[in-house]
Each structure stands twice: as structure tokens, then as C-alpha cells.
Structure 1
Amino acid sequence: MKILRFLTAVFLAGLTAALTALPVSAEGFTFNWDIGDEIYDGGLITEKTDSGGPHCKSLFMLNIDTDTVVYTLNPDDSLPMASMTKIMTYIVAYENIPDIENTVITVPQAVADDLEGSESSLAGVAVGEQLTGLQLLNLLMVPSGNDAALTFMKYVDEQYASGQLVPPDAPSPEDPGAGEGPGDEPGVTGDYVIPEGGMTDYTGKSYFVQLMNEKAEELGCRNTHFTNPHGLHNDNHYASARDMGRITQYAMQLPYFMDIVKQRQYDKEPTNMDADGDTLANTNRMLQPYGDNTYGNLYWYTYANGIKTGSHDQSGYCLAASASTYGYTYIVIAMGNMEGYEKGVHEEMLDCRTLFRWAFTSLGKKTIVSQGDILSSVNLEYAYQKDELLLAASENVSVMLPDSVEQSSIITTVEKPESVQAPIRKGEVVGTATLSYANEVIATVPLVATESVSRSDLIAGWEQGRALLSSPWSIAIMAALGALVIVYLILVVFYRRKQKQLRRVKKFRDL
């Protein structure tokens, strides 16, 4: 019985640890894409229309307010993410450069050397130009400057190599065997060396890139790997749409991030190398309400407020987009628009806008479970005049659902032990309820005891005794004892008969 109690305690402890902070999660709802018409004239779009879709290989859409995934398409496929990489670059730069707003960073010659001949997206910074970290963050995200990304990487690597940037988990120099300082780390030195793999792979040579991969792992990214801070193509540089969603959601909580990415243009102030300053447009055309000779304002979406574009021959067009209205905020990660890239048409932006319109007009926040709602019960042992314990939801659960969904359409599946033993505390986690709609899990909530129940030692003793007597081992032992008793009785009978016969023989002899 002690073993049974131990196993039950272990089960409940593990369940408590796993369910203490269960997130609301979902995998999305069905969305029927319209066929639409794509109207071109000499490669240019001549009519503002949302064409049929999806055009992208992979899509991931998340409601930020409830952390609900509302639409997915191949969300875990690893694909090149191009300049969406710079979202992680922003994170690592912001979190590893103290006082980044006021820190002055000088653009090194190595940045120009690495990007020479790449014909990639640049912010136009010059070698020797002095910029604050905040200016570089703007140049990184608005015009998508690869030169800004590399400047951050070189700066952090230099700080690390010189010992001015020490990782929190670095051994103390006073510790015996602490080894060389940061500047002596294998593969990360103060002297610039073109890494093996060229300007797209800094693996083993850049502490900054190491931090990018460590942050991805910390955020739970399983299908992502970085080799550089700008997103130029490398076979080992990739991400999934779901992982990019995690990275983007995290970045949105950092200071300045959303203020920067929602800008239609960035007005760069004069510097030591640029007396006039400059105005640089955002590469995200969903933010641009004005027309131009090629696109008009086809891609503009009035509620769009970010975040980051990406494109090259191997990735096609990519986009991390965000939009807010009616009190809700959504992000969409769109990856792998190859056909649009070949045509020079940003169909990934059309996909994002179509999904935003659908979500804002067809989905709403619904409270599907309230704290205290009774969702199940469990058998109760060792309690006086009570053999059942009610289980209730531990918290309110709200998710985004289609407006047409009725409460009766939500299926609740409960996972719980066969029984629990008193004593039980009110609020103690006993099981979990999984709520599903249209065969998709939309939420998970811990189930807790609705009351405290004390243990009856008398009942516990009785039940344990009965259980002991009814256990297979007890039955086997009692059967063995019974068999021994029967054998003993048989032997006694034979012995008495033998004694009786001996007495008769003796009496006969005496005569």
C-alpha cells in the first residue's frame, strides 16, 4: 500500500510541476483562401486586388493578446529567412550592449570588406562613421542595413575579445584553472579574420552569432540556426515560421522595437561622416500609404505597424508582419514566396493582409472556461463520508475563436488519476483539461481540488487492511497457509490412526 501511495504522490507532483503555468495554445483554424485575380501589365500590377493564395510556402499567424495560434501552413519547415534575421540581431544587440541608446559605435573597415561586391541591402553607413547604438538599431530595421547588422556584430565581438563584455556565466579570473580571458577564446579573437565560408558564415569566429543561437535555444526554437547577423544566404542559416514567430513576439517586448519598425521612414541625423544626414524609407510596403510608379499603394494596410522584410534568391520574399486594431494585435510570419519574387510582386504582403482582414473581421476573444468551473471529478480515498472530489478550472481561459463558434462545439478531454488519497488541499493540482475545437487543441488548463479534505485514520487503516488482505500476495500467502493447515490436519489424522492401531496391537499382546 505504501508503494501505491508513493506512486500516486509522484504522479501528482509531476502533474503539478507540469501544469503550474500551462499556456493557452492552439494550431489554428480553417481559412478558405479566395481564388482572386492577379492582373499584370508588363510585370506591373495595374489593379489593386487581393489575389488568391496562399502564395508562401510557410505561414504562421499568432494573436499576441491571447497567445493563440489562429492559422498555420507548414509552420515547422526550416527555410531561409533572409533579412528577417535582423529581428534576432536587434535582440542580441540590445541585450548585450549596455546603454545602447547613448553608446557611440564606429563603423570598422571590416564591415566594408565583408560586404564588398555583395550588392545587398545597405543603410549607407561609411567606414569611420560614428553612430549611437539607437541610430544603428533604426538603420538595421527600417532600411534593412546589412552594414548596420555587421557593425553590431563587430562591435560586440570586439568588446568580448577585449574583456569588456563578460558573459554572466563566465568563470571568475581568480578561480584556479579559469583559463584565458575572453580575448583568448578559440575562434573569437580581437584580430579580424575572414571566416571560413566567407561573409555569410561566422560560426566559430563570432561571439555575436554564438549569442544569436543561444538566444534562439532559450526561446524554444527547434528549427532555427544562425550563421550571420544580416541574413545573406548560407545553407546552415535557416528558421521556421513558428520559430520566427517566437523570436518576433519576444522582440516586440523590448524597448524601442515597435517604435522603430512601424516607421515609414527614418530620418538619420548628421554624423561625423555625413553632414547632411539622410532619409531612408522602410522596406515594408505594407506601411506605405502613398503610391509609386511600380506598385501604387497595392500593399498598404491601414492597421499594419511592422515588422521586417527579407528577400534573396534562395528565400524568395519573406515578411514578419504585425497589425493592431479593435484592441487586438496579430503577427504573421510569411516565408518562401518564390514565384512572387521571380515576378517582382510582393505576394507575401498580400497573404499577410488577407489573413489580417480575415482575423479582424471573423475572430473574437472568447472566455471558454472561467476559474472555478467544475469540469470533472475524481474518486477519493481515506476520507470520512466522502468518496468523490470535484475538480475545477484553476484559471480563466480566453482564446481567439471564430465568431460563429458555440460553447457546445468545444470538446473537453480530462486527464486525471483513477483516484486520489486524502488529505487534499483546496487548489491542489489534480489533473488537466484539454479543450478542442474542430479537432484542434485550443487550450489547456490545470484542474484543481475544489475543497480541502482531511484524512480519516480509521478509514485509512480499514481500507489499507482490506486492500492488504485482497492483494494477490496476501491471497497467495493465505492460500499457502490454508494448504499447510490442511496438510497438518491430514498428518494429524494419519498419526492418530497409527497410534490407535499401535494401542490395539499392544493390547492384543498383553492378552
Structure 2
Amino acid sequence: MIKKKIKSEKPPFPFYFLFQEIPVYAILYMIRKKEGFHLRYKKQIQKLLLSVFSLLLCLLSPLSVSAQDFPSGWPSAPEISSASGVLMEASSGQVLFDKSMNEIRYPASTTKVMTALIILENIPDLNKNITFTDIILPDLAPGNSTINAQVGEVLTVEQCLYAIMLASANEVCTQMAVEVAGSVENFTAMMNAKAAEIGCTNTHFVNANGLPDPNHYTTAYDLALILREAVKNEAFCKIAGAAKYTIPPTNKTAASRNMENHNALLVDGKYYYEGAIAGKTGHTEAARNTLVTAASREDMTLICVVLRSENDERFTDTRTLFDYGFDNFHSQSLYWMDKTTPAGNVILPKAVTADALSVSDSDENNQRTRTWSYNGTELYRTSMQLPLSVETQITADMSMFRIGTVKTIFPSPLLLPIIITLTILFAVIMIILIVKYHIRKQNRKKKS
């Protein structure tokens, strides 16, 4: 987690200046120069442009789309303070809570979950030595989250992973990206490919550490998918779930580096949560506070993501959602061909069993699909090739997939400013033509 404000971060672009002040003075200059137009018209033009700009924002801004329809009689969801949040059960991928989970936001250092996962999948030898190069120098700027690695310093891959997940070291992310893929650009291409592979549709990475960039974004739902994939890796859970870790002296650093996990749910204290197994915090001025965490109890592993939180809300909100999930739901196995091999599992309210689900079958293209629903809402679906047989069920011919969510693909965050810019320019031209028309009309009246 970044402890201080990152100086490399910049506040949101001043669209007010771009779309109101500049066009106003452009109009005044172009007209006044030729027609003797006076600055007293500035306020009228400002009001007109502001109205146009406000209308454009209303029309072009993406709407928040709820991605989950919950059945009637579903346990009442709690309130959270974070702007976006999701609670997902890991084995089924079923969403149990949704607050604007498909809204695109900055992930900050929760990006490093994907960074660590790509490293673990591509460097199996955690004892491999990594020598730091001058590629890390930009990330060592004051205010950045770092372990102050030195050019020429040697750390193991395992030590680098602890530095990434516990100390949130930006320079270590960059060095490991180059180690894995030859460049940060190639590494982020791997990150984006992995995100698409696991079902993320509203995510795009341009760096390995999560520093804000207009084209580096994700959603709470997509981050849940990423952490869901990451916790399948035992090494990831060991590293991301550690309360503390020490890097001993190296060839460039005489003192040991003692690191503590910034996720308060994983360490003893006020917010510790029994069953929490792994997670990652994040903070930038653009993203505010972010948090992804996994917790396991009994037969369920829950994934919780909260984005754009203030102060300690990310910890209280996550605890609230975990309590909601574990207190109100349980996992039920679903059977089709026999009672020994589950066809899948579904998460239901604790008082409800799988016997309460309605079942329907449909056939198409030599494939039979069975759907399980609760109170009219579809919860799970699985398909199998015809003709059906017990042998077919346990072969690779059987495919399972989960439905019940509607994902909305948003355009790149860069597209909206481009559309607005072009439209504003068109509006400016029209205003100029209208004003010049009225001036000419007034001049003709004076002459007549």
C-alpha cells in the first residue's frame, strides 16, 4: 500500500478549462477581432457552452448497470460506504452482493494481484536471483511505495514477491515485469491476456504496479475474478496472506528489511478477520482506498472487493460483507446423472437446500442443458453432449458454465474525452456562426 501521496499522480484533467474557458476566449478573439465584439458577451457564451457540456456529460457518461439479479426472498443485503463492491463465492463464481460492481475505476495497488500471479505462473523457481537494473529508477521517486531497491542489488523471486504483496514496492513490480517479459509493455500484454482468459471484460492494464493512468482501469467484479484465480495458487496465498516478512541484508543493503501486511484483516488487531487467507490493499489520490480479500470458512471461500473507500471504510465494509456471506449462505452440491459425482455447486440461503430448486432441460445441437433456478431466478446451468451416459459425464466432453450475470463492456476511458472534444468544437463553430450572423444583422439595421 502506498503510504504517502504519490507525487507522480496528477489530479483529474481540468475539463472545465478545456471545454469552457478556452472555447469562450477563442470565440471572443475570433469575433472581436473582426466585428468589434465586446467582452461583455463572455458570460452569455459561457452559460451556453456550460449547458452544452452538461448535456453531453449526461448523454455520454456510462450508466451503472447492476450485473446480478437476485431471487426473491434473498437475504437482505447490507449497506457499505465504499463506492463499489462485490462479494463472490470462489468455487462457483456466484455473486452474493453487488454495489456498482461493473463501474470502471482505478485499481491502484490491487493491480499487483495480477502482477504476482503472472510472475508465479512464469517463474516456477522462487529461489532464482534477480539483479535490479536502472529500469527501477523512475519508481524510486519520493512518495512512491518502495523498498528502496538499489541498482545492482540481488534478491530472490520469492523476496521480490513478498516486497510486491506486503510492501507494495513499485520498483520491484517494474523489475519483475522486465524479468518475465523483457519489457513492461510485454508484461502488461500478458496481464491483459490473462484477464481476458478468466472472464474480465472491463479491465485494461498499462503498468505492473497500479499507478494511475487513463488507460489503466478495472471493476470490482473483474478484480474479484482476478483474486479468485490467484487464490488457486498455493504460493500466492502463502505470500499474500503473510502477516510479516523480513528480507535479510543483501549485497547492496546492510540492514534487514522488515515488512508488514497492510491488509488489516490479515494481521492481529482491530480489523482482523478469522478465515482471511490473502489480499491486497491499494491507495492513490485517483483511486482513493481499494481492497481485495479472500476468506474461507467451512465449505465456502468468499472473495470481497471494495473500491473508492475513505479512511478505514475498506476494512469495515469488507468485514461487513464477509459476515453477510458466511452468516446467510451455504454451498449445495448439484447432481444430474448420479448422486456421487456433483455436476456443480450453488450458493443458497442457509435455510434453503438444493431440493428447493426448480430444474429444466433443453436440447439443441446434440447438447442437453440443465438449468437450476430459485424462485424464478436462474442460478446455475450445465451442459452435456447427447446421448447422455455416466461415462460422458466424467469425460472432457462435458462443459460447465455459470450464467446469471450481465456484463457491460464500457469503451476505453479515453473515448469519452475525444467524443466530447469533437462535439464541443462543433458547438463552438455553431456559436461563432450564430453570433456573427446576429452581428451582421445588427450592422445592416444600423446602416439602414
Counterpart amino acid of 1:252? V
Higher share of residues assigned helix: 2
User: Which segments of 5 or more consecutive residues in structure 1 lack a partner in the other structure?
Assistant: 1-24, 35-52, 161-187, 189-201, 291-296, 374-392, 421-428, 453-511
**Residue of structure 2 in register with 1:32 after alignment:** 76
User: Are 2:335 and 1:359 aligned?
Assistant: no
**Alpha-carbon offset, residue 274 of structure 1:** 2.1
Q: 2: CA distance between counterparts of 1:358 and 1:92?
A: 32
Q: 2: CA distance between counterparts of 1:248 and 1:123?
A: 24
Q: 2:150 aligns with which of 122, 126, 130?
A: 126
Alignment of 1:442-481 (within 5 A): 442-446=379-383, 449=387
Q: 2: CA distance between counterparts of 1:150 and 1:450?
A: 51
Counterpart amino acid of 2:245? Y
Q: 2: CA distance between counterparts of 1:326 and 1:307?
A: 19
* CA shift digits 1:58-80 (9 cap, x unpaired): 22222224443322222222211
Q: 2: CA distance between counterparts of 1:110 and 1:450?
A: 57
**Residue of structure 2 in register with 1:15 after alignment:** none
User: Are 2:228 and 1:249 aligned?
Assistant: yes
Q: 2:295 aligns with which of 306, 312, 323?
A: 323
TM-score normalised by structure 2 residue count = 0.65
Identity %: 27
User: Are 2:435 and 1:411 aligned?
Assistant: no
Where 2:251 maps in the other structure, the secondary structure is coil
Alignment of 1:376-415 (within 5 A): 396-405=343-352, 409-415=356-362
Counterpart amino acid of 1:356? F
Q: 2: CA distance between counterparts of 1:369 and 1:249?
A: 24
**Residue of structure 2 in register with 1:107 after alignment:** 132
Q: 2: CA distance between counterparts of 1:407 and 1:98?
A: 41
Shift of the 231–437 alpha-carbon distance from structure 1 to 2, 3 Å rule, reads: same
- Name whichever of 403-412 and 301-310 sits farther off: 403-412
**Residue of structure 1 in register with 2:159 after alignment:** 135
Shift of the 366–98 alpha-carbon distance from structure 1 to 2, 3 Å rule, reads: closer
Q: 2: CA distance between counterparts of 1:289 and 1:139?
A: 20
- Count of aligned residue pairs for this structure pair: 321
Q: 1: CA distance between counterparts of 2:335 and 2:127?
A: 47
Where 2:221 maps in the other structure, the secondary structure is helix
Counterpart amino acid of 1:70? L
Verify the 8 A CA contact 2:77 2:97 in the aligned structure 1: no
* CA shift digits 1:13-67 (9 cap, x unpaired): xxxxxxxxxxxx9866645355xxxxxxxxxxxxxxxxxx312222222222444
User: Are 2:238 and 1:301 aligned?
Assistant: no
User: Which segments of 5 or more consecutive residues in structure 2 lack a partner in the other structure?
Assistant: 1-66, 391-448
Q: 2: CA distance between counterparts of 1:27 and 1:62?
A: 14
**Alpha-carbon offset, residue 140 of structure 1:** 0.4
Shift of the 229–451 alpha-carbon distance from structure 1 to 2, 3 Å rule, reads: closer
User: Are 2:231 and 1:284 aligned?
Assistant: no
**Alpha-carbon offset, residue 210 of structure 1:** 1.9
- Name whichever of 256-265 and 357-366 sits farther off: 357-366
Shift of the 395–302 alpha-carbon distance from structure 1 to 2, 3 Å rule, reads: closer
Q: 1: CA distance between counterparts of 2:124 and 2:179?
A: 12
Q: 2: CA distance between counterparts of 1:451 and 1:281?
A: 53
**Alpha-carbon offset, residue 309 of structure 1:** 0.8
Q: 2: CA distance between counterparts of 1:355 and 1:268?
A: 34
**Residue of structure 2 in register with 1:509 after alignment:** none
Q: 2: CA distance between counterparts of 1:313 and 1:438?
A: 43
Q: 2: CA distance between counterparts of 1:278 and 1:27?
A: 48
**Which stretches of structure 1, 4 residues or more, deviate above 6 A after TM superposition?**
none
Q: Greater relative contact order (Cα 8 A, min sep 6): structure 1 or 2?
A: 2
Larger Rg over CA atoms: 1
Where 2:237 maps in the other structure, the secondary structure is helix
User: Are 2:172 and 1:151 aligned?
Assistant: no
User: Are 2:243 and 1:275 aligned?
Assistant: no
Shift of the 87–27 alpha-carbon distance from structure 1 to 2, 3 Å rule, reads: farther
Q: 1:232 aligns with which of 188, 194, 211?
A: 211
Q: 2:370 aligns with which of 433, 440, 457?
A: 433
Where 1:86 maps in the other structure, the secondary structure is helix
Shift of the 55–440 alpha-carbon distance from structure 1 to 2, 3 Å rule, reads: farther
Q: 2: CA distance between counterparts of 1:125 and 1:225?
A: 28
Verify the 8 A CA contact 2:112 2:209 in the aligned structure 1: yes
Shift of the 83–31 alpha-carbon distance from structure 1 to 2, 3 Å rule, reads: farther
Q: 1:58 aligns with which of 52, 77, 84?
A: 84
Counterpart amino acid of 1:346? D
**Alpha-carbon offset, residue 437 of structure 1:** 1.8
**Alpha-carbon offset, residue 137 of structure 1:** 0.5
**Alpha-carbon offset, residue 411 of structure 1:** 3.0
Where 1:238 maps in the other structure, the secondary structure is coil
